[in-house]
Amino acid sequence: MESNKEILVFTGEWCSNCGPWKKMLDEKGVQYTAIDIDTDEGAALAQKHGVRALPTTLIFRDGYLDRKIVGVQLSSLKEMQEV
């Protein structure tokens, strides 16, 4: 039985690495939801998940946090493609 998987990427307009990170995810065909922490809702979610640096990528499986990736980590792209 396949697990329910979701990727959230916390970004900000002022974040110089966020745009290139999202572009790499797009080029690799990774399905993700981007959350801009410059909004009140995004800031609350970021605080809830302990996001302190951008970009931060959270991988959830069956509703539970499976992995937290802080910054740009090219080695993590293959794992995220499988999500």
Adjacent-strand bridge partners of 9: 34, 57
Parse the chain into domains and list their residue ranges.
5-81
Q: Which residues contact 76 (CB under 8 A, 6 or more apart)?
A: 57, 67, 69
CB 56 within 8 A of CB 12: no
pLDDT tens figures, 30-63: 888 888 877 777 888 899 999 999 999 998 989 8
Pairing of strands 33-36, 5-11: parallel
Q: What confidence tier does 82 reach under pLDDT thresholds 50, 70, 90?
A: low
Domain spanning 5-81, CATH class: alpha beta
Query: What pTM was computed for the model?
Result: 0.84
Place of tokens 């493609």: 81
Rounded Cα distance between 60 and 15, Å, is: 23
Sheet harboring 64-70: ordered strands across? Answer: 33-36, 5-11, 56-61, 64-70
